Chain A
Amino acid sequence: MILLRLALKSLLSRAVTVSLTIFAIALSVALFLGVEKLRIGAKASFADTISGTDLIVGARSGGVQLLLYSVFRVGNATNNVTWQSYQDIAGRPEVDWIVPLSLGDSHKGFRVLGTTPAFFERYKYRGGRSVAFTQGAAFDDLFDAVVGADVAAALGYDLQDSIVVSHGVASFTDHYDKPFRISGILEKTGTPVDRTVFVSLEAIEAIHIDWQGGGRSQNTISADEVRQMQLTPKAVTAAMVGTTSRLKIFDLQRWINEYPQEPLLAILPGVALSELWSLIGVAETALIAVSVMVVITALLGMAAMIFSGLNERRREMALLRAIGARPWTILLLLTTEAALMSLTAVTLGIGLLYTGLWLARARIDAAFGLYIEITAPSPREWLVLGCVILAGIAISLLPAIRAYFLSLADGMQVKH
């Protein structure tokens, strides 16, 4: 087709401006697709923060609140779950396993979680992956601690280092008399596990054994003495529960929520996670809006480029008219040029995105724990890409229609 060849040749003759324009659109397309991939990756990573756990149990409050303090270690529990209630739940026939979570203390800004070694087997993320140790192992001794990847990296910890836990989340009182020894360091997961210091449930009891009502009592008990004592906790903050069968989840949930001795709440982590995501999902809309505006800006740049070229191309238009081209042909020539530029830009943009993803994926996973899957563009993304090309053609109609009327007015020779 002659028009296509002419458009192509004309574009090639203006290689510098044309390729800059194409590159601008390609970058904007890559940005848009990148944001889309990141958004989906972030959403999936978020939804995969905890998996394999059927119910999370805590004192009665809101579902999102329970999720926030038990899984994300944000905020505090209003109440604890008594050890008696915990034992009652653990004794239910529907329960396959139960892992206690005891929160309240911190270490240099990181939360300390008292739990059992079973946590490291039961806590799953990203579709069933287990938490693995890069060094060492789970706690064995009473004063062993396991640290998450961010904790180890931020504070420069190695195995056998000695650490002291502070009382509360923002206090200056330390449990200096009962230091811990780091027995294990976890690999990066991209979940709150990275920012947590793990100790045994008994250790939480042990460091508070000589405390009363938020202060140290007069009769201190040394670290060696405490080893001989009975360290059954009086309460836990929350618990992760796995059921014997998926069908039993709702029975157990109802039983816990109706537990008469104490007001308790059992939530399905997936449901609470999606509730929480809908709260922070406003940010994703903002991200999309910004990247759409970048695409529009790049397309406007192309329209400006075509407009600015019109005047010097008036002689070319007049010549085409003289040898028999219709004014429509002139309009079509300009829109074909825009369509070719948009198409090239979109193709280049896709190329840029996948090259970028391929290069940066491992780094993003390591740095942010954000796992981005390299998948073909989704139907929604193809639709957007098609819209970019159509928008490019539509926006080029402005200069093209101007060229149409110019060529009608100029006739065979450009009037000066």
Chain B
Amino acid sequence: MKAAIDLNDVAFTWQGRTQFTLTVPHLTVPEGEKLFLLGQSGSGKSTLLSLICGITQPQHGTIAVDGVDLSTLRPSARDRFRAERIGVIFQMFNLLPYASPLENILLQLSFAPARRKRLDTPQEEALRLTSALGLDRDLVLNAQTTELSIGQQQRVAAARALIGRPKLIVADEPTSSLDANSQDAFLDLLMQQCDEAGATLLMVSHDARLAQSFDRRLDLADIARTERRVA
């Protein structure tokens, strides 16, 4: 079986006021797996996700997503690759405040023509996803993005990540702004939709309690090393 994510001997150094180095000797995520990655803040989880999404490039080692070695792609091709194959959900500020919820979902497709081609009517698919994620059709069509609650915003973000069936969903603390009840409900719906789309799910969180329903759970501290040095 092809690996959804495959990291080998990866080293990345971020040179700011302090020097920050993240090394990942090895990490493989099989296709279709739901992987929970436990990481405290400052453990390098955001850096790891940036590397997997191809936004930042490691100085050393290889990162392959869906069988494609990211270092072989030019920067613009990497941006296109990310748009086509990955859906991203953040902890907060997932949506453009000036665009409607529906426009936010469809915006993903304007950067990913292949994902768009898979859909007959993108708008209907967006509405199907949002309703499967428990959002009112009327809300998605007519509400202002800024009027939505955090929970509703996260569902819209999930719909945007899922639309057009990308291979990989990357979620960075997607439930940290939600209360405990909504967290479980949100995760259930997200997983259900990932199953339906056949997508691999990689979720990073500091909250170990959420790991129960995942296929596998890893502690970031076990697979990666970080090093900080004042320059």
Chain B minimum-CB-distance residue to A1: B110
Near A by CB (< 8 A), chain B positions 106-120 give: 107-108, 110-112
A319 adjacent to chain B (CB < 8 Å): yes
Whether A322 lies near B98 (C-beta < 8 A) is no
B49 to chain A, nearest CB (A): 7
Mark each residue of chain B from 62 to 104: 1 if its CB lies under 8 Å from any CB of chain A, else 0: 0000000000000110011011100010100111111100010
Q: A2-B107, A6-B99, A316-B96 are in contact. Are A323 and B55 (CB under 8 A)?
A: no
Q: Which of B80, B88, B103, B112 is the one whose CB lies under 8 Å from A412? A: B88
Chain B minimum-CB-distance residue to A318: B93
B interface, CB within 8 angstroms of A: 16, 46, 49-50, 53, 55-56, 75-76, 79-80, 82-84, 88, 90, 93-99, 103, 107-108, 110-112, 160, 172
Whether B79 lies near A322 (C-beta < 8 A) is no
Q: A322-B53, A323-B83, A323-B107 are in contact. Are A413 and B98 (CB under 8 A)?
A: no
Residues of A within 8 A of B97 (CB): 13, 316
Whether A319 lies near B84 (C-beta < 8 A) is no
A43 adjacent to chain B (CB < 8 Å): no
Assembled-state Cα–Cα distance A320/B111 (Å)? 10
Assembled-state Cα–Cα distance A319/B84 (Å)? 15
Whether A324 lies near B90 (C-beta < 8 A) is no
A interface, CB within 8 angstroms of B: 2, 5-6, 9-10, 12-13, 315-316, 319-326, 328, 411-413, 415
Assembled-state Cα–Cα distance A323/B103 (Å)? 13
Interface SS of A by simple majority: helix
**20 A-B pairs whose Cβ atoms sit less than 8 Å apart in the complex:** A2-B107, A2-B110, A6-B99, A12-B98, A315-B93, A316-B93, A321-B55, A322-B53, A322-B88, A324-B83, A326-B75, A326-B79, A411-B50, A411-B56, A412-B46, A412-B50, A412-B55, A413-B46, A413-B50, A413-B172
A81 to chain B, nearest CB (A): 78
Q: Which of A319, A321, A324, A412 is the one whose CB lies under 8 Å from B96? A: A319
Assembled-state Cα–Cα distance A411/B88 (Å)? 13
A347 to chain B, nearest CB (A): 22
Q: Which of A5, A10, A316, A324 is the one whose CB lies under 8 Å from B108? A: A324
Assembled-state Cα–Cα distance A212/B94 (Å)? 99
A317 to chain B, nearest CB (A): 11
Whether A326 lies near B108 (C-beta < 8 A) is no
Residues of B within 8 A of A319 (CB): 90, 93-96
Residues of B within 8 A of A320 (CB): 96
Assembled-state Cα–Cα distance A10/B226 (Å)? 39
B144 to chain A, nearest CB (A): 10
Whether A322 lies near B93 (C-beta < 8 A) is no
A314 to chain B, nearest CB (A): 10
Whether B111 lies near A322 (C-beta < 8 A) is no
Whether B55 lies near A325 (C-beta < 8 A) is no
Residues of A within 8 A of B172 (CB): 413
Whether A324 lies near B79 (C-beta < 8 A) is yes
A412 to chain B, nearest CB (A): 5
Whether A324 lies near B98 (C-beta < 8 A) is no
Chain A minimum-CB-distance residue to B88: A322
Whether B79 lies near A325 (C-beta < 8 A) is yes
A79 to chain B, nearest CB (A): 78
Whether A323 lies near B53 (C-beta < 8 A) is no
B54 to chain A, nearest CB (A): 10
5 interchain residue pairs of minimum CB distance: A324-B83, A13-B98, A324-B111, A2-B110, A411-B55
